Structure 1
Amino acid sequence: MECLFGITGNGFTLLAADTISARSIVVMKATEDKSRQLNAHTVMLYTGEPGDTVNFAEYIQRNIKLYGIKNGIELSPKATATFTRRQLADSLRSRHPYSVNLIIGGYDAKKGQPELYWIDYLGAMASLPFCAQGYGAYFCTSLMDRYYTKDMNVEEAKKLMGMCIQELKTRFIVNMPKFNIKLVDKDGVHDVEL
């Protein structure tokens, strides 16, 4: 019942994740943070089986941090997404596969452009201008397709994200009262409100 969204715009990536942790018909926690900041310009959103998601997210976060310390450079969002996809694909071919779906978004400081990657539990990866994971994709992908423009500013992207969240509140049977929203630009990662 989880929902993740990502939108790229003119010099930024906007990411949103619901805060509900549920099992079957029971809400376990309403303040779950389903994001991890991987480095100064990259954020990963995750959804899936509760134990797998946190374990995998922390594993990726710590390995990206270790790479930065050992080599003295920050990985780009593309390099981070490629490393993450490889780890997910390798786990799929082991005895302990992770059941995790991801969105990795960020700002590539060298290229000066935003990047957004959709990765599923089978290790498939796609670079997209906007994307959704979870049940929110059924309701909001068409909305993003209709109203997305390549050179959106931050306010236009926030408006589109707000439309997606409102669509979920209107049409989805499950109540999604709160979303954590992160903006990644040349200055780093910021928490924002719609």
Structure 2
Amino acid sequence: MAMTNNFTSWGRPFTDAKMDMYGGDITQRYQLGSEHLQQHSDKFADAVQKTQQPIVTGTSVIGLKYKDGIMLAADNLASYGSLARFKDIQRLHSVGSHTIIGAAGDMSDFQHVQHQLESLVIDEYCHDDGHALGPAQIYEYMSTLMYHRRSQLNPLWNAFVVGGVDPKSGEPTLAYVDLLGTTYSAPTIGTGYASMIAIPLLRRLVEDRKEPPNEEEALDIIKTCMKVLFYRDARSLNKFQVAKITKEGAEISPSMSVETEWGFAEGIRGYGGQTQ
């Protein structure tokens, strides 16, 4: 586009206005159809809204590295505010064959991320070049996605734990990414309330050992942490799933529970029908 003497139009395409300073209809001069000037809008755009604040949310996700790979766990509760509303929600999602993500935070944003990841995996498969996305690549994509949405001041209200094992090298990946784009990796990870309650347990039971736990020991550690979270976190549920990722592949268990004891509650002031 040629520079004009009217500085207010510099950097602005002619199609922003029908007339320029020299007169004449630009649509006639450049023989542009009216469809190029008309701003098309979706008739349903007003009905589609982004998440402004979390409404239906999930609580903690925990993860640890063990001898053969990665183990994650998350309960099946999605709370509607303070109401324990949905009790059969799967917050562990398989991405490809060797990666699983666990989501805390808003469930609608989690569904959006699931769709994004499914599209990514399909696109990669369609290249048919013999390569597949591993856990390290999924983690990089998640960190970029979350930071991009944060930079647009339209964050995805989630915290994710990404766990997986590279099928070729056997290198395990356990990493964290949240709505601010904060990222880190560690042998043990917890989101939300688990970052305060379960992490000390995980560090003592996993990181303070000379040798990493085997699969059976790792599952016992997971169950211990989920029991403590159920006792302490008002937004948790004694119904959870455990994901195991090894070099052979990834699998998510059916829902399970742990034995709990609430007899001590009778002696707690304010419990049940007590008045004093």
Contact 1:64 1:80 in 2 (8 A): no
Whichever structure has more strand as a proportion of its residues is 1
1:103 counterpart (161, 165, 175): 161
Structure 1 unmatched ranges of 5 or more? none
Partner SS state of residue 58, structure 1: helix
Paired position in structure 2 for 1:177? 238
Partner of 1:121: 179
- 1:57 is displaced (CA, Å) by 2.5
Look up the SS of the partner of 2:191 in the other structure. Answer: strand
Per-residue deviation at 1:175?
4.5
Residues 41, 123 of structure 1: alpha-carbon distance in 2 compared, 3 angstrom cutoff: same
Task: Report which stretch shifted further, 151-160 or 167-176.
Answer: 167-176
**Where does 1:114-193 land on structure 2 (aligned, <5 Å)?**
114-148=172-206, 149=209, 151-192=212-253
The structural deviation recorded for 1:161 is 0.5
One-letter amino acid matched to 2:230: K
Query: In the alignment, is the contact (CA less than 8 A) between 1:39 and 1:65 conserved in 2?
Result: no
Which residue pairs with 1:69 in the alignment? Answer: 126
Q: Which residue of 1 aligns with 2:95?
A: 38
| Letter in structure 2 aligned against 1:132 | G
Q: How much does 1:173 deviate?
A: 3.3
Aligned to 1:58: 115
Distance 1:154 1:175, change over 3 A: same
Alpha-carbon offset, residue 95 of structure 1: 5.1
Question: Can you list the C-alpha shifts for 1:16-73, whole angstroms capped at 9, x where unaligned?
Answer: 1111011212122100011221110001111212221211222123213322332431
Are residue 81 (structure 1) and residue 81 (structure 2) matched?
no
Q: Which amino acid aligns with 1:151?
A: P
State how far apart, in whole Å, the 2-side matches of 1:10 and 1:58 are: 32
Give the Cα–Cα distance (whole angstroms) in 2 for the partners of residues 173 and 97 of structure 1: 26
Under a length normalisation based on structure 2, what TM-score does the superposition of the two structures give? 0.66
Question: Aligned partners of 2:146 and 2:216: how far apart in 1?
Answer: 34
Match of 2:170 in 1: 112
Q: Which has the larger radius of gyration?
A: 2
CA shift, 1:181, in A, is 0.8
1:3 equivalent in alignment to 2:64? no
Stretches of 4+ aligned residues off by more than 6 angstroms:
none
